[in-house]
Chain A
């Protein structure tokens, strides 16, 4: 059993975060995505690194992202991910359902 930490990303939201990151910053490699999510959330969220790549590959197969090999500024070979049109639509869907979820949770917390 893995130790669950407070800043582990809620299951199912990883895709949303990755999509949002790619939508905001354009082409990125996996490491940069991890770094971006961490810094954008002011270190509140930490991507479990091992699960990022399975997620990225599944998203690629679902046609949400496209991947290409490129070279980083440190002259290393890295796989760069970009958002596709389908990915953009998926992002909109996930954003909406996230909003609904948080709204619902908020309401419950308010009245309970």
Chain B
């Protein structure tokens, strides 16, 4: 009978049993009628009818579905029996549950991260129908405001549409910044998403018109922090980016913006951006890609139809928004850009782009760890099954079915894995928070809602049940194979033949193989991270304080005044400023060319442009290879000069000496020096072409720059000094402090996450494999006590015994290593794209992992081998 029948029967048992009552009642009355017709008095007839029918309630039980009751009784009996068996063998139960808990916990933790970063839908109305506009697979997700306005003008395309731009707003008015995540949003943002205001109103279409007043909608959290959750917040003024914004509402608490990994605190209309701290030309600039566009298709339109409609509109949209001052080639490629739609149900996320690959690798890693843990538990259960062979044989002899016996063993396995899952959920909630620490390093505002939801718990359950079956099946099968006669004849002596023992060794070999895969991958990632951390990136990362500074005062002299005062601070060795810092995440780019080349042809080279003060190179630690550094004399009145990076110099001038050569420009710029390449966008990127120009020669006033202070004392200790100086020079300047080494570390957070976690899990795998090896060997030695005793009694040398035991484990480990090497060939390809400075087949790492494994195996083998050699033959033989 199908199992679901049993369940449905169980639940409808009330109705069912009243039906049965009626049916049996009918039968009894019919029988009584017949008996009366045959001449029996009525009362007697009723008794006789009942007597013939038999015991009514027993029948009812049997009728209601004999199987259900028996099945559940047996299940509960099995569970009770399994719980008792585990309690009786506490050491075994603790080791098994602990290793399963670690395995399942690791899987749950990584999966809950994957769930949050990649799978969860936004808490908005019908997230599944939301589509984002992109420029094809390789294209970006960002658009100009003119493109957005063009698209908005085609209402046949959508039932709702909005654009938004992720930003950071500064709530402090001068001094150290207090930045919060914010979004510039178009008028239909909240209406399209279906996100209501919990107080006041949201931003509406009426707010989003050119020249609009600065209004702002708060998140629940900001409302609590800034206004103490007071109703009177509506209509109040909040200073944002040093501009007054009127608070119009508080958004629903569950909503935290479109960006997964950020907790948006403020929402302001796009139209307010130019005049309130955004980019002044943002609304009309045709080459400023800052908006993400999301649409909800028109009612009844499929994704494909919407995509087709958008494709039909695209040429018109692109033609209408063509950047006018671009070169012919650029214009042609602009017109060819496609606009396509993609699902946007789980929002946008830079975090996802950055971490998706790493999280996938980690998921594989933790799955392997769980497999190793399963192998361990399977091995323990196998050993127990052998010990309990006698018990199994008795059960079989008394008439238990083999299926029933398998079920009993599987129930025990399930109980173990469910306990493991419960422990795993505990580990996971704690581990996920730890993981979050890696992702949110340096308090850059990364925020993830890691609450365990139904999907994560379902995942944990499936993982637990799968692993239960995985490690429970082989031992269950073995105990059902028991031959009652042989087992009973053996009187409790072990009766396991050679082939049976093979499963245990195969499991251990498998563990060794998987551990080798994990160790090699971990070794590669760790070495790669060490390479990244120690690579010479063209600057000295330690001992430098960075102060990101934004002046609202445009007086040109201020930066040099600030530098002068900072140099006087105790502990400061040198001070400088620049518009770009290594790995600072932003920059200015332009085309650089040798003077004299015609500007109509593409003769230039795309390069980053850094505007620097004097002493920049000494402060940041970049060597000037040839020529001279920028000096204070290079100012607005002197001829234009520049330094170029080594690789750019080679590209522009080939082998000839660049010093004294000129760069193309309205006024040609003389190259006065060459500096070593330094990595600005990423430590992996060595193609750092860079032009350095004296900031004093820039015709635009420098208001947005980073101060660099190199000091002999810990850089963070300079912060108070800087804070005390700044108000007297420019009280409205906003300051953000970090150190160069922190900035470098932040750029490596993904690599650190991978390296640390892979190493941690590699170590865990090693530990589990060690336990597995040790357990199997000890068990084997104990099992062969008799044989070893005879060998000793017959005069076998103890060294030989040790060699025999170690040799046995050696064969298994070598076999495991062989299989592991084959697996690792495939697996290391997965991590190859994360490696820096070494290849996936790095011989040192491979040999090192093999060495570590062999060492651990030896360690696991020594104690049991010693025990075998020290065995007293008399006691060993007497025990039999």
Contact = CB atoms under 8 A, between A and B. Distances in A.
Interface of A: 29-31, 34, 48-51, 53-54, 57-58, 61-62, 72, 74, 76-79
B470 interface: no
A29 B33 CA distance: 16
A79 B53 contact: no
Given A49-B53, A49-B54, A54 B26 contact: no
A34 B24 CA distance: 13
A72 B25 CA distance: 14
B23 A54 contact: no
A57 B9 CA distance: 11
Contacts of B29: 76
A51 B9 CA distance: 19
24 contacts: A29-B26, A30-B26, A31-B30, A31-B31, A34-B27, A48-B54, A49-B27, A49-B31, A49-B53, A49-B54, A50-B53, A50-B58, A50-B59, A51-B62, A57-B63, A57-B64, A57-B65, A61-B5, A61-B65, A76-B26, A76-B29, A76-B30, A79-B22, A79-B23
Nearest to B61: A54
B499 interface: no
B634 to A, nearest CB: 95
Nearest to B19: A79
Contacts of A53: 20, 23-24, 27, 59, 63
Given A31-B30, A61-B1, A61-B5, A77 B63 contact: no
B55 interface: yes
Contacts of B33: 74
Given A54-B59, A54-B66, A57-B65, A49 B52 contact: yes
A24 B26 CA distance: 23
B719 to A, nearest CB: 78
Interface of B: 1, 5, 9, 19-20, 22-24, 26-27, 29-31, 33, 52-55, 58-59, 62-66
Contact of B26 (A48, A61, A62, A78): A78
A108 to B, nearest CB: 28
Nearest to A74: B33
A27 to B, nearest CB: 15
A54 B30 CA distance: 19
Secondary structure call for the A interface? helix
Contacts of B55: 50
A30 B24 CA distance: 9
Contacts of B20: 53
A62 B63 contact: no
B24 to A, nearest CB: 7
B360 to A, nearest CB: 46
A54 B63 CA distance: 4
Contacts of A76: 26, 29-30
Given A30-B27, A74-B33, 5 more contacts: A49-B27, A50-B55, A53-B27, A78-B23, A79-B22
A60 to B, nearest CB: 10
Which among B22, B27, B55 has the highest number of chain A CB atoms within 10 Å?
Answer: B27
A76 B52 CA distance: 21
A77 B22 contact: yes
A58 B6 CA distance: 11
Nearest to A30: B27
9 cross-chain pairs, A with B, having the tightest CB-CB distances, nearest first = A50-B54, A31-B30, A54-B63, A50-B59, A54-B62, A53-B63, A49-B53, A78-B26, A79-B23
Contacts of A58: 1, 66
Nearest to B2: A61
B26 A31 contact: yes
A30 B503 CA distance: 55
A31 B35 CA distance: 13
A32 to B, nearest CB: 8
A22 to B, nearest CB: 16
B229 to A, nearest CB: 60
A28 to B, nearest CB: 12
Nearest to A76: B26
Contacts of A79: 19, 22-23, 26
A51 B24 CA distance: 12
Which among B9, B20, B23, B53 has the highest number of chain A CB atoms within 10 Å?
Answer: B23
Nearest to A46: B52
B290 to A, nearest CB: 65
Contacts of B64: 57
Contacts of B62: 51, 54
B333 to A, nearest CB: 67
A35 B623 CA distance: 110
A54 to B, nearest CB: 4
A58 B66 CA distance: 9
A72 B33 CA distance: 13
A58 B53 CA distance: 18
Nearest to B9: A61
Contacts of B66: 54, 58
A76 B28 CA distance: 12
Contacts of A50: 53-55, 58-59
A31 B49 CA distance: 12
B809 to A, nearest CB: 54
A106 to B, nearest CB: 33
A53 B58 CA distance: 12
Contacts of A78: 23, 26
Nearest to A34: B27
Contacts of B58: 50
B1 A62 contact: yes
B63 to A, nearest CB: 4
B20 to A, nearest CB: 7
A53 to B, nearest CB: 5
A34 B27 CA distance: 10
B27 A31 contact: yes
A54 B53 CA distance: 12
